[in-house]
A and B are shown apart, each in its own frame.
Chain A
């Protein structure tokens, strides 16, 4: 299972890549493989604020719909327009072009509550 070392993970199967104070958020390779083919990513509009662990949207797969949980608190700065035309990027490139939102991180201390790649691999038995 593909897990990258420059990312932090939530137990709810989202990842965040942190550059300066900007967090890029998506779902993990494990999550997409469990969900199956993604049909639609329902993400919030730019400007909305969410708290850590709060539901910020949902992802619709062929057979099921799953909530998306914020790995960190923050304000939505950008959503991934590529997913509107090609939602299966979440399946094929979950850690790259399949990202969902970028946020302005509100409180960097919350990072301590997230998992490393190794810890995440352990809880998902991957």
Chain B
């Protein structure tokens, strides 16, 4: 079973189109979207509609949650005053673009998707969230202390936890087994299709492979592939520059931060 997971498109239609071209070639068994369809670029409605027309199961990101409710708060935890000012421009611009039907779609997106496999007379829980199981906008960076990461996964009963939100992909395997019995849990940040922040300007997503031998007992029995694809970055960056959005967002796309 090959499962494609993507998120954090952020209204970048050229990146989303390139993603579909890439992923459809690979012919996965299923595709899930982990949210943040909108914000930071000019195509929020188009991105919603491309995902809707393919009937891809999708969860809400923090930006979708805010725009869905016509809020002026996206839960983005900006640090500096200039980040906050730019963020305010983006959220009010996105609110002004968003059409009623597309906004209603964002408003009704679920928070989590749980997929339970029953293989080898054991269960294997895959949990899809945007930020973390407990908060839509929590940032789970790669350097999160193991104890904290394990507590979050154990409380959510997640053997494989997939999330986005930070735009920085990684895969960590943690062992929460006791008394010498292994119980491997996988924390997978799937990166970002339309606004990568890991210095690689290409769009990114994950292909997760679960096979008949996949189990919490064998850490190599779950395969995680990070896929990167080229897209027309200039088109996306120019669209930002020709809009009321701050030009810094164009630079983010050109340089991957």
Q: Is the CB of A58 within 8 A of B134?
A: no
Inter-chain CA distance A60–B141, complex, in Å, is 12
Q: Among residues 43 to 75 in chain A, which have CB atoms less than 8 Å away from a CB atom of chain B?
A: 58, 60, 62-65
Contact B139 A58 (CB under 8 A): no
> A63–B139 contact, CB under 8 A?
yes
Known: A36-B77, A37-B77. A60 touches B137 (CB 8 A): no
What does DSSP make chain B's interface, helix, strand, loop or mixed? loop
A39 within 8 A of B: yes
Please, which residues of chain A bring their CB within 8 A of the CB of B181?
none
CA distance A39 to B151 in the complex (A): 13
Q: Does A42 contact B (CB under 8 A)?
A: yes
A62 to chain B, nearest CB (A): 5
| B155 CB, nearest partner CB in chain A, Å | 10
Q: Quote the shortest CB–CB distance from B133 to chain A (angstroms).
A: 11
Please name the residue on chain B nearest to A36 by beta carbon.
B77
A64 to B79, CA, bound (A): 11
Query: At the interface, yes or no: B145 with Cβ under 8 Å from chain A?
Result: yes
- Most chain B CB within 10 A, of A40, A62, A64, is at A62
Closest beta carbon of chain B to A66's beta carbon, Å: 11
Considering the chains assembled together, what is the distance between the CA atoms of A62 and B135 in angstroms?
Answer: 8
A42 contacts B77, C-beta separation under 8 Å: no
Closest-by-CB residue of B relative to A67 is B145
Q: How far is the CA of A40 from the CA of B156 in the complex (A)?
A: 14
The listed residue (A37, A62, A65) touching B144 by CB distance below 8 A is: A65
User: CB distance B145 to A62 under 8 Å?
Assistant: no
B138 surroundings in chain A (CB, below 8 A): 39, 62-63
B82 interface contact, C-beta 8 A? no
Bound Cα distance A39, B132 (Å): 11
Please give, as numbers and ranges, the residues of chain A lying within 8 Å of B151 by CB-CB distance: 42
B77–A58 CB distance below 8 A: no
Q: Is the CB of A58 within 8 A of B137?
A: no
A48 to B79, CA, bound (A): 35
Instruction: State A77–B6 Cα separation when bound (angstroms).
Output: 47
B96 within 8 A of partner (CB)? no
Measured CB to CB, the closest approach of chain B to A60, in angstroms, equals: 6
Report whether B148 and A65 are in contact in the complex, using a CB–CB cutoff of 8 Å: yes
B77-A62 in contact (CB<8A): yes
Per-position binary interface string of chain B over residues 117-150, scored 1 when its CB falls under 8 Å from any chain A CB and 0 otherwise = 0000000000000001011011100001101100
Interfacial chain B residues near A60, Cβ < 8 Å: 148
A73 to chain B, nearest CB (A): 24
Give complex CA distance A39, B139 in Å. 11
Say whether A63 contacts B77, CB under 8 Å. Answer: yes
User: In the docked arrangement, what's the CA distance between A1 and B66, Å?
Assistant: 29
- Can you give 20 contacting A-B residue pairs, CB < 8 Å? A37-B77, A39-B132, A39-B134, A39-B135, A39-B138, A40-B134, A40-B148, A42-B151, A58-B148, A62-B75, A62-B135, A62-B137, A62-B138, A62-B139, A63-B77, A63-B79, A63-B138, A63-B139, A64-B139, A65-B144
- Contacts A42-B147, A62-B75 known; 15 new A-B pairs at CB < 8 A: A36-B77, A39-B134, A39-B135, A39-B138, A42-B148, A42-B151, A58-B148, A60-B148, A62-B77, A62-B137, A62-B138, A63-B77, A63-B138, A65-B144, A65-B148
List A residues at the B interface (Cβ < 8 Å).
Answer: 36-37, 39-40, 42, 58, 60, 62-65
6 nearest A-B pairs in the assembled complex, by CB-CB distance? A63-B77, A63-B139, A62-B77, A62-B138, A39-B135, A36-B77
